Amino acid sequence: MCSMARLVLTRLGAFLLTLFAASAVLFLAINVIPGSAARSALGIDATPQAIARFEATRGLDRPLVVQYIDWLGQTLQGDLGTSFQSAVPVGPELLLRLPVTLELAFLAFLIANLIAFPLGTIAAARHRRGADRVFSTLASFLGAMPNFWLATLLVMVFSIKLRWLPPGGFIPFSEDSVQNLKLMIMPALSLGLVSSALLLRIMRASMLEVLSRDYIRTAKAKGASEVLTIKRHGLRNAAIPYFNVAAVELGFLFGSVVVIEDIFQLPGIGSLVLVGIINRDYPVLLAAALAITVFVLLANLAVDLCVALLDPRRSKGSQA
């Protein structure tokens, strides 16, 4: 079996183990949230008998370990449970909201990388000169800005003052692509601009480290232009640590959609998490949180394999 195939199998095994551990942590964390799921579903006037009956029919009176094993078994069979509040299956609702969150995360990640990768490279190439100072200052400014604050600022400027963009809502891309992008651009910018700050600094630092290596100096001494040197030797090597951090940042984006989707009234998984927390709706909250966890782990797996393709020594070294 080739080294790349072994790496894929190793990473898949690590993915499954991490997902299992994450599901246990999520289940425990969600079940210790203050408040009663039964009282939230039945109302504050519910009698003790009604609460006991509610908990018994849903297995909430059993030990937590038993509840987790039952939930895990149902989840592995594709049954994500039924909402305590609406009494409808959680799975179909999750599938309806999934495209919204995926589109938001994709657009935000695209914006972050379109800003960070080229500007970080230029900043390193113009080290301690004007472009470097400008882009480093920009990264510091964006990095210090909470994404929910930026979201509020964007709404105030582009929706309330200038009236260029709608303040919230969602229309699928398949129905009206132009209106969809108008509705998604501010949420994506709120996440992408903040994420670009860290990625820009990482790309700058990574490129500076690559440009200080001996083979880069040798290429320049032989008459190669700075642009050609960076293109042929710098980008590939500098991209490896950059993509590693980008995978972590993608996970941050998925975690940040909860607040941003609420601000812009997007019917995604993030807003479903918020509804689950407010209503103590454990099946909804577990399904939504697990979906976000799966996408974070899949993103890290994909980036890890991409990095291995960029640097074949990684796949060999991981087997040593």
Report the SS3 class of residue 82.
Answer: strand
Classify residue 189: in a domain, yes or no. yes
Neighbours of 138 (CB within 10 A): 17
pLDDT value of residue 305? 78
The CA-atom distances, in angstroms, between 269 and each of 155, 245, 310 are 22, 24, 33
Classify residue 45: in a domain, yes or no. no
Here the tokens at position 290 are 């697990």
| Residue 89: φ, ψ to 5° | -60, 140
pLDDT value of residue 320? 46
Angle at which helix 90-125 crosses helix 177-211, to 10 degrees, equals 40
Listed residue (194, 105, 110) closest to 148, CA to CA: 194
Classify residue 274: in a domain, yes or no. yes
Here the tokens at position 104 are 């938001």
Classify residue 224: in a domain, yes or no. yes
Listed residue (201, 197, 190) closest to 261, CA to CA: 190
- Domain range for 161: 97-317
H helical segments located in the chain: 3-31, 37-42, 48-57, 64-76, 90-125, 130-143, 147-154, 177-211, 214-221, 226-229, 235-263, 269-279, 282-310, 312-317
Classify residue 71: in a domain, yes or no. no
> Which amino acid belongs to residue 72?
L
Mean pLDDT by 10 residues, the chain (320 residues): 74 90 91 81 84 87 91 91 88 92 94 95 91 93 91 94 92 93 96 95 93 80 76 81 87 86 92 86 90 86 76 54
For residue 212, give the DSSP letter: T
Classify residue 163: in a domain, yes or no. yes
Scored b (16 or more CB within 10 A) or e, 263-296 reads bbebbbbbbbbebbbebbbbbbbbbbbbbbbebb
d(CA 160, CA 165) in angstroms, rounded, equals 9
**What domain count does the chain have?**
1
Check which CATH number belongs to the domain holding 189 and give it. Answer: 1.10.3720.10
Classify residue 29: in a domain, yes or no. no
Classify residue 113: in a domain, yes or no. yes
